[in-house]
Amino acid sequence: MSGKFITIEGTEGAGKSTNLSSIEKVLNDFDISYIVTREPGGTAVGEELRSVLLKNESINISGQTELLLMFASRMQHINDVIKPALKLNKWVICDRFTDASYAYQGYGRQLNLSFISSLENLVHPDLQPDLTLILDVPVNIAMGRVYNRGNLDRFEQEDVAFFNRVRAGYKEIAKNNIDRCREIDASKDLVEVQAEVMQIIRDFCKKQSNS
């Protein structure tokens, strides 16, 4: 069985971290060897870029710069972490990937989508996730969860209109990539959401072991 690449996406407050644990549980049950990583981040330089990108102090970062920093982090991450793991037949579970650049910089910041797709073709012409879970939550619920956590990062300080565009972006991505993406209603009870996530991962694992 070759390594598979699974990504998890959604607006802040959608419950990615909790559901990441559900994914890990299933992979452990199937005795699959995997790594868990994240973007921006996942390498030493990527984590440095992450702290610049998320820092909630008011430094001016334009939308284009933000996008290029996301892809700079991604380039290093793909070369140093994702591809080597997949080559060793490990599965890679990644907390956000290029869909987030489309959703946040493309739809949220309203940058040109074709500019993002040029960067995608430059940075990873030969790599796409095998499965993407998109956790969908109405913005008022998601932001309520985020505000409860306190200490907002640079993205979390954006307004409701921004997050509505990001959410609509993810919905568009899910609609245009039905073979790869599964949209999950993450406003439901957490136990129900976790059960749905685990079922999707179980089905995916079974499909891989049958192929």
Per CB under 6 A, the segment of 19-27, 96-104, 142-150, 191-199 that binds ligand TMP is: 96-104
Choose, by CB under 6 A, the member of 12, 136, 183, 196 that binds ligand TMP: 12
Which one among 5, 91, 155, 170 touches ligand TMP, defined by CB under 6 A?
155
16-29 and 190-210 helices, crossing angle to 10°: 40
Q: How many residues belong to the site for ligand TMP (CB under 6 A)?
A: 12
Q: Which is nearer to ligand TMP, 5 or 32 (CB)?
A: 5
Segment interacting with ligand TMP, rule: CB under 6 A, options 34-42, 75-83, 115-123, 141-149: 34-42
Least Å distance, CB 202 to ligand TMP, is 25
Position 40 contacts ligand TMP (CB under 6 A): yes
Residue 4 interacting with ligand TMP (CB under 6 A): no
Q: Which stretch binds ligand TMP (CB under 6 A): 57-65, 97-105, 144-152, 195-203?
A: 97-105
Please identify, using beta-carbon distances, which residue of 3 and 108 lies nearer to ligand TMP. 108
Binding site for ligand TMP (CB under 6 A): 12, 38-40, 70, 95-96, 100-101, 104-105, 155
